[in-house]
């Protein structure tokens, strides 16, 4: 199966991001893929947006032009590679690929779309909108880090009542590659805080020190 990976690059180089180490790399190591191609869409988006930002256009016009050009770049990649499966590793909504782009690509090309979304603060309207639209456009959606949220989406409970295609959402917990572990007898940290709610972890030490 010809597989196109659409990968993000949030704070690290794309091959250091969890989307690569926990999704893409295991798929590549499985030996089950026929051919594959990796396209770093987030780096392209930042380049597009920064170029249009130099003009005197307002933010809505800048975003519109960026989305139009993003589609053209993706369309060219699809024409060149002709993927059968597209694996989309989502990023934060402001730099993500719009669901309208995927729907337009589906009108012009034959492929299955598997999207990977992450847990986030459910009160964030932009993130909720992105996930709802992405799930609607996808043939399969993977959530790696929150079983409870997966269940709420699938049952369309509460704020998820307007979500569609929720039967295509599955929970897929990933296991970090052992290559990234470096066992040592030397203790480097007293406490490790893990989790996926960005912006929340930094407040935990402050809250803990407040009750000492």
- What is the chain's percent helix, strand, coil content, to nearest 5? 50, 15, 35
150-204 pLDDT per residue, tens: 999 999 999 999 999 999 999 998 776 666 556 666 767 777 666 555 556 667 6
- Whole-number pLDDT of residue 174: 77
- Whole-number pLDDT of residue 66: 86
- Whole-number pLDDT of residue 119: 76
- Whole-number pLDDT of residue 122: 85
Do 129 and 94 meet the contact criterion of CB atoms below 8 Å apart?
no
CA separation for the pair 128, 160 (Å, rounded): 9
CA separation for the pair 49, 27 (Å, rounded): 31
CA separation for the pair 26, 167 (Å, rounded): 25
**160 class by beta-carbon count within 10 Å (0-12 exposed, 13-18 middle, 19+ buried):** buried
CA separation for the pair 192, 94 (Å, rounded): 29
Q: Which domains does the chain have, with CATH numbers?
A: 2-181 (3.40.50.2000)
- Whole-number pLDDT of residue 28: 92
- Whole-number pLDDT of residue 183: 60
Q: Which residue bears the tokens 């790399």? A: 25
Over its C-alpha atoms, the chain yields an Rg (Å, rounded) of 19
Helix axes 59-81, 99-108, angle to 10 degrees: 30
DSSP E strand stretches across the chain: 2-7, 35-40, 85-89, 112-117, 140-143, 169-171
> What residue ranges of the chain have pLDDT lower than 70?
176-185, 187, 192-202, 204, 208-212
- Whole-number pLDDT of residue 130: 94
- Whole-number pLDDT of residue 58: 84
Q: Which residue bears the tokens 């929720």? A: 166
CA nearest to 153, candidates 190, 118, 189, 111: 118
């Amino acid at each position: 199966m010809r597989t196109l990976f659409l990968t993000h690059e949030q704070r690290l180089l794309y091959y250091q991001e969890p989307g690569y180490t926990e999704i893409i790399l295991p798929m590549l190591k499985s030996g089950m893929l026929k051919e594959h191609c990796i396209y770093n869409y987030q780096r392209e988006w930042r380049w597009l947006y920064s170029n249009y930002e130099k003009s005197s256009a307002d933010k809505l016009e800048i975003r519109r032009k960026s989305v139009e050009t993003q589609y053209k770049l993706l369309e060219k990649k699809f024409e060149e590679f002709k993927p059968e499966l597209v694996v989309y590793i989502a990023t934060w909504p402001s730099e993500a690929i719009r669901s309208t782009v995927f729907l337009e690509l589906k009108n012009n090309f034959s492929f299955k779309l598997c999207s990977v979304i992450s847990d986030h603060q459910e009160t964030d309207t932009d993130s909720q909108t992105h996930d709802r639209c992405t799930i609607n456009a996808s043939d399969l959606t993977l959530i790696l880090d929150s079983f409870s949220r997966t269940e709420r989406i699938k049952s369309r409970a509460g704020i998820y009542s307007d979500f569609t295609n929720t039967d295509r959402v599955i929970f897929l917990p990933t296991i970090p590659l052992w290559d990234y572990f470096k066992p040592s007898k030397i203790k480097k940290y007293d406490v490790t805080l893990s989790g996926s709610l960005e912006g929340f972890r930094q407040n935990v030490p402050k809250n803990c020190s407040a009750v000492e």
